[in-house]
Amino acid sequence: MRILVVGSGGREHALAWKIAASPLCDALYAAPGNAGIAQEATCIDIGIEDIGGLVSWARDNRIDFVVPGPEASVVAGLVDAMEAAGITCFGPSAAAARLEASKTFTKEVADAAGVPTAAWERFEDAAAARAYIARVGAPIVVKADGLAAGKGVTVAMTQQEAIAAIDDALEARIFGKEGASVVIEEFLVGEEASFHVLCDGKHVLPLATAQDHKRVGDGDTGPNTGGMGCYSPAPVVTPEVEAAVMERIIRPTVARMAQLGCPFKGVLYAGLMITDEGPKLIEYNVRFGDPEAQVMMARLMSDLVPALLATRDGTLGHVDLRWWPKAAVSVVMATRGYPGSYPRDTEIGGIEAAGALDDVIVFHAGTKRDGARLLSSGGRVLGVTALGDTIAVAQAQAYRAVDAIAWPDGFCRRDIGWRALGR
């Protein structure tokens, strides 16, 4: 098969790395890709939201199967457009992708399906939102309703923080139209976990559990980011918790989406809070997590491509996936200044030395080549991923690899996996 992966981040590098290993893959392409993906695929200079350009190129180059990575592509209708052109494509329709594109839509689906989630209200008017905050107090969570590249959520520990987040979204419009309305949620107490399933519209197949670290600083301090590291499996998701998630959250959501006439096909990623009352839904994403994809692909023993095809074809009920018993830890290296402003085009060395260590894979997120030099081209730049018999062993090996990388303008958290180690 001739396969096209759409995207340019660490998630897409992990997917490309796994797809390239499939005996079903005869030729692999990526649009637009990055310096790491270029080691696995031929990179094509087409943007992830250039739907017409992607469809035209896929048709002209006889692509058999398209795998979008980022949410922006599927929300923009890439799956619908590819399928309309007769090109097989993994992922949800634009209508089903509203589970990530709109926090309000997700909350309405959850309420209708009886899915346990945080109490919430939606606001377009800043004054009304501020009055609500004054009434209910803090801590509380403020979310831009639409897509905000992982930066639209404020976990406000004080009313002042919450009001500042409301003003940023509704007055300053820092998220543009994606933040023209906000969802204000109850603050849930517990431990977060990432729960991914493949879904073909009816059948559901759980994937390996994972837990990421959203805040920029050690000890889960500082502002939220797109993710500073991850590990798998997540000990907090016990077999009993997994059964509860499937019964109370995933299956009711899938049934509700079918009732609405937009059955969900693709990977459904539930961000969960494991509370004293059981698991509760924080949010849905309609694509693999990043950096969750890195640890999941490192642990996946089975061929990924048949599972993705079965998800698209509606035959997922016949698929089983096997996972390596080892744990995986991925440490994100980011450019100093992230998630605020940061420099670009800073030089990175030592990637080969890091990748030569046993059980280490260095996934690229924001990189590019300038001749022989490897340069940064984003905030989150590398996902240094290692396998080990335990989380502790994998963590130690991941940080050995981090320390082999020469990048004065980069930084990382030094405690990825701390919750698992504390158990």
* pLDDT tens, residue by residue, 80-91: 999 999 999 999
Asked if 229 and 250 sit in the same domain, the reply is: yes
CATH number of the domain at 42, please.
3.40.50.20
User: Does residue 61 surpass a pLDDT of 70?
Assistant: yes
The domain total for the chain is 4
- 373-386 exposure pattern, b = at least 16 Cβ within 10 A, e = fewer: ebbbbbbbbbbbbb
Question: How confident is the model over 315-334, as a mean pLDDT?
Answer: 97
Name the β-bridge partners of 144.
182
User: Does residue 215 surpass a pLDDT of 80?
Assistant: yes
pLDDT for res 223: 86
Q: Which domain holds residue 61?
A: 2-91
Are the CB atoms for 79 and 68 separated by under 8 Å?
A: yes
Structural domain includes residue 44: yes
- 19-52 exposure pattern, b = at least 16 Cβ within 10 A, e = fewer: bbebeebeebbbbbbbbbbbebbebbebebebbe
Asked if 311 and 356 sit in the same domain, the reply is: no
pLDDT for res 150: 65
pLDDT for res 153: 87
Structural domain includes residue 105: no
Structural domain includes residue 106: no
Asked if 344 and 401 sit in the same domain, the reply is: yes
CATH number of the domain at 376, please.
3.90.600.10
Average pLDDT, the chain: 96
pTM above 0.85, yes or no: yes
Name the β-bridge partners of 141.
155, 185
Choosing from 287, 318, 349, the residue where a domain stops is 318
Asked if 228 and 313 sit in the same domain, the reply is: yes
Asked if 276 and 313 sit in the same domain, the reply is: yes
What is the band of 422 on the pLDDT scale with cuts at 50, 70, 90?
confident
User: Does residue 297 surpass a pLDDT of 80?
Assistant: yes
Asked if 176 and 212 sit in the same domain, the reply is: no
> Using omega within 30 degrees of 0 as the cis cutoff, is the peptide bond preceding 70 cis?
no
Asked if 200 and 284 sit in the same domain, the reply is: yes
CATH number of the domain at 140, please.
3.30.1490.20
| C-alpha span between 298 and 177 (Å, rounded) | 37
What would the pLDDT profile of 271-290 be if each residue is shown by its tens digit? 999 999 999 999 999 999 99
Asked if 233 and 305 sit in the same domain, the reply is: yes
What would the pLDDT profile of 69-115 be if each residue is shown by its tens digit? 999 999 999 999 999 999 999 999 999 999 999 999 999 999 999 99
What would the pLDDT profile of 177-204 be if each residue is shown by its tens digit? 888 999 999 999 999 999 999 999 999 9
Q: How far apart are the first and last CA of the chain?
A: 44
Asked if 279 and 219 sit in the same domain, the reply is: yes
**Range in 142-156, 249-263, 332-346, 367-381 the model is least confident about:** 142-156
pLDDT for res 224: 82
CATH number of the domain at 228, please.
3.30.470.20
| C-alpha span between 154 and 163 (Å, rounded) | 10
Structural domain includes residue 351: yes
Structural domain includes residue 174: yes
Residue 277, amino acid: E
Structural domain includes residue 99: no
Choosing from 48, 76, 91, the residue where a domain stops is 91
Choosing from 286, 318, 350, the residue where a domain stops is 318
Asked if 196 and 164 sit in the same domain, the reply is: no
Structural domain includes residue 167: yes
Structural domain includes residue 101: no
Asked if 287 and 395 sit in the same domain, the reply is: no
Asked if 209 and 146 sit in the same domain, the reply is: no
